[in-house]
Amino acid sequence: MQLHLVGGFLGSGKTTAIISISRQLISHGKKVGVVTNDQGKYLVDTSFLRSQQIPTVEVTNGCFCCRYEDLEEKLEQLTEKEKPDVVFAESVGSCSDIVATVIKPLLELAGSKTPPTSFSVFADGRLLLAFLEDEELPFSENVLYIFKKQIEEAQILVINKADLLSAAEAERLLNLSAQAFPDKIIRLQNSTSDEDTRKWYDLISSNSTISTINTVEMDYEKYGKGEAELAWFDQEVEIRHKTGNVFPLIVDLIQLIFNKIVSQRDTIGHLKLMITSGKEQIKISIPTIEQEGWQEDLLQHQGNEAKILINARVQSSPTELSEIIRMAIHEISKIPGVLISTSPADSFQPGFPNPTHRFNQP
């Protein structure tokens, strides 16, 4: 069995690439499994992967490094149940120091039955270009530290969302990345293209150098502060309209949340929603740089009730983020004919990173 670790910042495209290649592999008769990971416990990604019939287990309530034993246990469960040929493990987008705390332990601990084959780190090409050209990014210094460290420890750097770059930007980005990271394997990729994710898979499945991967220096004070400057919010919302279609209301709800976050000068890491209506399951995703078209996608659907799982990861405080979402839901609930019920909201800052193991020799 091959195990491919996939890291990188919130919204960089990890799940998109994993789904694209998993579906291709499954259609060619391979057995695939995925491990998702998050600080929260109600995960849009898990729900979306399962909706695509991809066997998925999850490590919740903390990153792989802080819940290392859980990761090993889930890998074992998946291996026993599905007997997969290939497993992808996607770490939470606020996690770094994965080489020292996950890859080295998986490679070197006697009890570890699942040594990894590759470690890819995804970065949104537009954010990476701004970063390498010393432009200001919309993150605090400590959050930017996490973004930077994730890239620094990559074995394979996937510069993603290539389709959203001009040819000139792509060329500049490749040149700058080659200069900044001479020791990495660098790929420019569009993860919405099956052909491109297939090439990524060819690269990671033939990788033979994982055992030589180096750990990076990590300032845990800065890393911890960066995580604490992010807010997590998860909630399930059921919306019904007595006579009409709820989808335009869902668009309004998301737009209200988005506008309020932006007007408060908070930065979205990733706002993602899983909408279930009848037999349909739709994932809506708004990363740091909003991608157009989600409104039109949603308005193609119809139904007078839906269940919405909200996962918001925002540079903000949990109190502020909860209030923004509570107010938006309240606004929509005032519309005549609309009935809304909500599960208790789960809102918090990720705890200080406290890895189970840390192999700090290079």
The site for ligand GTP (CB under 6 A) is made up of 10-16, 45, 93, 122, 160-161, 163-164, 190-192, 270, 272, 285, 287, 291
Partner touching 291 among ligand GTP, Mg ion, none, CB below 5 to 8 Å by kind: ligand GTP
Question: Can you tell me the distance from the alpha carbon of 323 to that of 11, in angstroms, rounded to the nearest whole number?
Answer: 23
**CB of residue 251 vs ligand GTP: minimum separation in angstroms?**
16
**CB of residue 313 vs ligand GTP: minimum separation in angstroms?**
6
Nearest residue (CB) to ligand GTP, 90 versus 152: 90
**CB of residue 350 vs ligand GTP: minimum separation in angstroms?**
13
Nearest residue (CB) to ligand GTP, 25 versus 127: 127
**CB of residue 11 vs Mg ion: minimum separation in angstroms?**
8
Instruction: Count other Cβ atoms within 10 Å, centred on residue 340.
Output: 18
Nearest residue (CB) to ligand GTP, 259 versus 291: 291
Partner touching 287 among Mg ion, ligand GTP, none, CB below 5 to 8 Å by kind: ligand GTP
**CB of residue 151 vs ligand GTP: minimum separation in angstroms?**
14
Alpha-carbon dihedral sign for residues 324, 330, 333, 339? positive
Nearest residue (CB) to ligand GTP, 314 versus 340: 314
Quick note: the x/- pattern for Mg ion over 2-31, rule CB under 5 A, is ------------xx----------------
Partner touching 104 among ligand GTP, Mg ion, none, CB below 5 to 8 Å by kind: none
**CB of residue 80 vs ligand GTP: minimum separation in angstroms?**
26
Nearest residue (CB) to ligand GTP, 165 versus 246: 165
Nearest residue (CB) to Mg ion, 311 versus 316: 311
Residues forming contacts to Mg ion in the complex (CB under 5 A) are 14-15, 45
